[in-house]
Amino acid sequence: MKLAKVLALSVLSVAALCHLAVAEQLTQLPGVYFTESTQESLVSVSRIEPDTQSYFQVGDTLRTYAATGENIGSISELREILNREQGYGTSQLFFHVDRDDMAWVIDVTLP
């Protein structure tokens, strides 16, 4: 019986850890940290370092890349868009975000 309880707790612990959000900073957007919710396929701004100039605000949820209409459901999708556009020489990008229950368009300038 004790072994069954230990195994059940271990399985619950692993399941809980799988849903933890980890803040990630992308090299193209220094000072801005993103988290993703795999359950809901959402990417949000979780932290912005002091003195970082950005139109993003903590709590913004990224929805789409405005130029192509691509949905942003993971940090890797955001990274792919940034890498691709940077490869094309694009330095100014626009993203649709949700902020305070309103839709916004955010201007992002790559370094």
Q: pLDDT tens digit string along 15-55? A: 444 555 678 888 899 999 999 987 888 999 999 999 999 99
Answer for the pair 95, 72: CB distance below 8 angstroms, yes or no. Answer: yes
User: What pLDDT, on a 0 to 100 scale, did the predictor assign at position 17?
Assistant: 46
Domains in the chain: ranges and CATH: 24-109 (2.30.42.10)
pLDDT above 70 (res 5): no
72: Cβ contacts below 8 Å, ≥ 6 apart: 43, 62, 63, 64, 65, 78, 81, 95
pLDDT above 80 (res 111): yes
Q: pLDDT tens digit string along 62-104? A: 999 999 999 999 999 999 999 999 999 999 999 999 999 999 9
